[in-house]
């Protein structure tokens, strides 16, 4: 059965704890062409680093057999990060995804999701809201 | 260091960024986003795209540099949201694609400052409703 509007409200278990490291933040910053400056004070992850910790939760969505989605047929329509505090090296976080809304227009499925990222003491670090558009393969 | 003095209408220094397939491969590895439309022309054209396109999150991340570079480490990010209005094709032709990022302060209050970004590729807007809200900024 493919995804339907009835999947709105479906919530997934938190992802395995992920430790933010200075090395990963540095790799991510360098991939955006803005390497960390040595000795430049405390390391704060780039604004979109939230995608690194949110990614595993998105993967759970894209591989949920109940929804029957194919990652290669998914495009990102919108994204918002709301930070309660900066993500920093040493943070150990989990990401919990829920499906907020599903709209189906023919073979196009529009999936609105929210991921809450919490630290080791269960405080919210950030919330990442995203809309994905999945083009279902006809006849698949 | 905190955000430079800003008022509504203040423009940020513009940013130009070139993307090549190497940029996409690096971002895929750093982010863990291995959707093949970002490295395989076969997968991308199969979805009706002209060829490999940049990760929306890569475009979003690159555009943010215009704000973080201006604001400095003293400012704290409250929120950052965008709509991905057009894909950014990145051909494997040794040239790639170029993003132009312009930012304007569109709101200032006691605690926060909002920057609206205008992000284009080849003259076409690729991000919509792109807004960064900062706190700890000296207005």
What's the number of domains chain A is made of?
1
A11 touches chain B (CB under 8 A): no
Is A80 a domain residue? yes
Q: Is residue B113 within 8 Å of residue B133, measured between CB atoms? A: yes
- A82-103 pLDDT, tens digit each: 999 999 999 999 999 999 999 9
Q: B68, A46: Cβ pair inside 8 Å?
A: yes
Residue among A47, A72, A80 minimizing CB distance to B36: A72
pLDDT band at A39 (very low <50, low <70, confident <90, very high): low
Helices (H) and strands (E) in chain A, counts: 2, 5
What does DSSP say about strands A92-105 and A124-135: parallel, antiparallel, or unpaired?
unpaired
Residue A108 pLDDT exceeds 70: yes
Is A140 a domain residue? no
Sign of torsion, CA A80 A85 A88 A90?
negative
Is A117 a domain residue? yes
Closest CA to B30 of A68, A55, A139: A55
What domains can be seen in chain B, in order of their start residue? 15-19+54-135 (3.10.129.10)
- A16-31 pLDDT, tens digit each: 999 999 999 999 999 9
- B27-73 pLDDT, tens digit each: 999 999 999 999 999 999 988 899 999 999 999 999 999 999 898 77
CATH of the domain at A102: 3.10.129.10
pLDDT band at B137 (very low <50, low <70, confident <90, very high): low
Q: Is residue B29 within 8 Å of residue A31, measured between CB atoms? A: yes
Is A82 a domain residue? yes
- Domain residue limits at A102: 5-135
Q: A41, B73: Cβ pair inside 8 Å?
A: yes
């Amino acid at each position: 059965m493919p995804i339907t509007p009835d999947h709105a409200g479906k919530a997934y278990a938190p992802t395995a704890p992920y430790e933010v490291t200075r090395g990963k933040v540095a790799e991510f910053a360098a991939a955006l062409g803005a390497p960390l400056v040595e000795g430049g004070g405390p390391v704060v992850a780039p604004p979109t680093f939230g995608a690194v910790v949110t990614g595993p939760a998105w993967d759970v969505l894209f591989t949920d057999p109940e929804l029957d989605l194919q990652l290669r047929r998914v495009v990102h329509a919108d994204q918002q990060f709301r930070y309660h505090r900066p993500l920093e090296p040493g943070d150990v976080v989990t990401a919990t995804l829920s499906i907020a809304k599903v709209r189906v227009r023919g073979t196009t499925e529009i999936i609105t999701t929210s991921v809450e990222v919490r630290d080791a003491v269960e405080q919210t670090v950030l919330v990442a809201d995203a809309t994905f558009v999945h083009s279902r393969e006809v006849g698949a | 260091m905190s955000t430079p003095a800003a008022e509504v209408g203040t423009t940020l220094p513009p940013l130009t960024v070139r993307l090549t397939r190497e940029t996409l491969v690096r971002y895929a590895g750093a982010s863990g986003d291995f959707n093949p439309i970002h490295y395989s022309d076969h997968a991308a054209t199969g979805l009706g795209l002209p060829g490999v396109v940049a990760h929306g999150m890569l475009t979003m991340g690159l555009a943010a540099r215009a704000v973080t570079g201006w604001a400095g480490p003293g400012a704290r990010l409250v929120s950052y949201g965008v709509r991905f209005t057009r894909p950014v094709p990145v051909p494997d032709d040794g040239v790639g694609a170029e993003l132009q990022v312009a930012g304007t302060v569109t709101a200032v209050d006691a605690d926060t400052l909002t920057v609206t970004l205008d992000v284009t590729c080849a003259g076409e807007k690729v991000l919509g409703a792109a807004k960064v809200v900062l706190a700890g900024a000296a207005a």
